[in-house]
Amino acid sequence: MISLNLDQLAGMQQEVLDTLTTAENSWGEFMTLADAEHPWTGWFDAPRKNGFNEGKFIQSWAKEVDVHYDCVVVCGIGGSFAGTKAVDDALYPKLTHNTPTKPIYYAGNHLCERSLIELLDHLQDKYPLINVVSKSGTTTEPALAFRALLDYIERKFPDEIAQRVVVTTDVEKGDLCGFVEQQGCKSFVIPSNIGGRFSVLSAVGLVPLCLAGYEVSHLLTGADQLYTSLRAADSAAEAHPVWLHAAARHTAWSKGIRIDALAYTTPKLDAFVAWWKQLFGESEGKQDKGLFPAGLAYTTDLHSMGQYLQQGWPAILETFMTFNHSGSISPGGIERRLKIPAPKAAQDKFARLVGRNMEDINSVAMESAYMAHASRGIPCLKLEIDGSLNLHTLGYMFAYFQCVCTLTARLAGLNPFDQPGVEDYKKNMFRLLEV
């Protein structure tokens, strides 16, 4: 479903191929750990281990919620909201009310007072369900936002706290367990062997997506397709794209590259790339190592960062991510395309493009950037996804990047699953706040 083109890697192709055996062996070692249920490896093969059954249960529960609600508020930060937002932003039609899914709003992913006030104001004429997502229950941003949301629920729906608050946490250690027991609200488990940035296919992502009306079985099936392909991969036949991608990133680092820029063609993927940045940043940014993950939204960023890519510091690996099928799917399941029209008042030079699909022009622009940056000497990967932007392909992409990230970190001698540096700012903040 994903193919990786290494033709424009600025002469690094042979070194990538030389690294493949090491990458494959390292991946085999990881799968042995995952099969033995080593700590923090529970995300690999998650759909088959428990995800399909959990998804069915959550989907069924969501359809039986015994209170009227017209939106969902996810209260969480980092991996507790990023995967959910990646799916929702990619698929929810933001500018129309004609949609089978309910809107999802987000709180607890920042400390911005103004944004939280605006959300609380917006909720005044809504009937929300609040899904607070926190493994520990002690993370500052979601804890304080949840206080504000809980105060709102207590004032507007004083007799419906148990029905309108859903908790996703560590049911053994999380500080939210006391709240669940006291209020009697529904709770779901964040698996102890899955870290936050790898948790989108667990209850962390499945609960709010089911509540919003998404058919999460498609998301899980997409991920399962990637995991299954890795189990069946045979280096004697053809190197798996995960191995190639990790080998290319590892080689780029060894050649002095320090930035991995993921270029994409639709603003619908802004939140997905934000999820991708957390995944790679927290997993690889240790021991003075790790490619800095940056997103490039094309064609928008071709009118800003395009200048830098063409003539700035060249120590960048640029990954061009494209879909081979595009189009907008209406709620009725009908594909819609936009052809360049011929308004009578038009006075520009683009008459020759009349009748061509807008997405075709977008693809040409992406290919043009690929050619220009590669000719400049920037090593470029082309990541082509066989399909359109939907739940299935998103599930596949989540799994794909999780595996690439894990393998690249292992090749660098890093633990992909911890984030010790994150705690430093928290210690300072707690000291300054006297908490």
**What integer pLDDT is reported at residue 42 of this predicted model?**
95
Please name every residue paired with 169 in a beta bridge, in sequence order, or none if there are none: 189
Mark whether 18 and 116 lie in a shared domain. no
Whole-angstrom distance, CA of residue 85 vs CA of residue 75: 11
> Residue 428 falls within a domain, yes or no?
no
257 vs 431, residue with greater confidence? 257
**What integer pLDDT is reported at residue 329 of this predicted model?**
62
Give the type of residue at 214.
Answer: Y
**What integer pLDDT is reported at residue 194 of this predicted model?**
95
Residue pointed to by tokens 């191995």: 243
Whole-angstrom distance, CA of residue 143 vs CA of residue 146: 5
What sections of 48-200 are H helices per DSSP? Answer: 52-63, 82-91, 113-122, 140-156, 161-164, 177-183
Q: Is 435 helix (H, G, I), strand (E, B) or coil?
A: coil
Give the type of residue at 377.
Answer: G
85 vs 137, residue with greater confidence? 85
Please say if 344 is a catalytic residue: no
Mark whether 133 and 185 lie in a shared domain. yes
> Residue 424 falls within a domain, yes or no?
no
pLDDT digit string, tens, across residues 107-154: 999 999 999 999 999 999 999 999 999 988 889 999 999 999 999 999
**What integer pLDDT is reported at residue 328 of this predicted model?**
63
pLDDT mean across residues, the chain? 93
| 415 backbone φψ class: left, alpha, beta (φ>0; ψ -120 to 50) | beta
Helices 82-91 and 203-212 sit at what angle, rounded to 10 degrees?
Answer: 30
Q: Of 214, 229, 263, which one is at a domain's C-terminal end?
A: 214
Mark whether 285 and 209 lie in a shared domain. no
**What integer pLDDT is reported at residue 332 of this predicted model?**
60
73: pLDDT strictly greater than 70: yes
Total domains in the chain come to: 2
Contact in structure between 309 and 318 (CB atoms under 8 Å): yes
Mark whether 153 and 21 lie in a shared domain. no
Please say if 173 is a catalytic residue: no
Give the confidence band of 172 by pLDDT, cuts at 50, 70, 90. confident
Contact in structure between 397 and 319 (CB atoms under 8 Å): no
Q: Of 175, 197, 214, which one is at a domain's C-terminal end?
A: 214
Q: What is the mean pLDDT of residues 319-335?
A: 75
Give the confidence band of 330 by pLDDT, cuts at 50, 70, 90. low
421 vs 225, residue with greater confidence? 225
Active-site hit among 282, 284, 286, 382: 282
pTM: 0.95
Phi and psi dihedrals of 332, rounded to 5? Answer: -85, 0
Q: Is 361 helix (H, G, I), strand (E, B) or coil?
A: helix
29 vs 344, residue with greater confidence? 29
DSSP letters spanning 43-82: TTTHIIIIIHHHHHHHHHHHHT-SS--SEEEEE--GGGTH
> Residue 93 falls within a domain, yes or no?
yes
Give the confidence band of 333 by pLDDT, cuts at 50, 70, 90. low
Sign of CA dihedral 65, 69, 71, 74: negative
Contact in structure between 58 and 261 (CB atoms under 8 Å): no
Active-site hit among 63, 94, 339, 426: 426
**What integer pLDDT is reported at residue 347 of this predicted model?**
82
Residue in 103, 47, 30, 139 with CA at minimum distance from that of residue 395: 47
Give the confidence band of 327 by pLDDT, cuts at 50, 70, 90. low
Active-site hit among 303, 344, 349, 427: 303
Mark whether 393 and 342 lie in a shared domain. yes
> Residue 435 falls within a domain, yes or no?
no
Overall residue count recorded for the chain in this entry: 435
Contact in structure between 52 and 220 (CB atoms under 8 Å): yes
Mark whether 201 and 226 lie in a shared domain. no
Q: What is the mean pLDDT of residues 216-237?
A: 91
Residue 238, domain extent: 2-36+219-411
> Residue 254 falls within a domain, yes or no?
yes
Please name every residue paired with 295 in a beta bridge, in sequence order, or none if there are none: 262
Q: Of 181, 214, 247, which one is at a domain's C-terminal end?
A: 214
Q: At 236, which CATH number?
A: 3.40.50.10490
Please say if 373 is a catalytic residue: no
pLDDT digit string, tens, across residues 380-429: 999 999 988 999 999 999 999 999 999 999 999 999 999 888 777 778 87
Mark whether 31 and 56 lie in a shared domain. no
Mark whether 207 and 294 lie in a shared domain. no
> Residue 55 falls within a domain, yes or no?
yes
236: pLDDT strictly greater than 90: no
For every residue of 342-356, which 3-state class applies, written as one string?
Answer: CCCCCCCCCHHHCCC
Give the confidence band of 300 by pLDDT, cuts at 50, 70, 90. very high
High-pLDDT (> 90) share of the chain, %: 84
Contact in structure between 139 and 77 (CB atoms under 8 Å): yes
Mark whether 190 and 322 lie in a shared domain. no
Mark whether 149 and 265 lie in a shared domain. no
Mark whether 253 and 179 lie in a shared domain. no
**What integer pLDDT is reported at residue 96 of this predicted model?**
72
235: pLDDT strictly greater than 80: no
pLDDT digit string, tens, across residues 29-68: 999 999 999 999 999 999 999 999 999 999 999 999 999 9
Tell whether omega for the bond before 140 is within 30 degrees of 0, i.e. cis. no
> Residue 172 falls within a domain, yes or no?
yes
> Residue 433 falls within a domain, yes or no?
no
Mark whether 233 and 210 lie in a shared domain. no
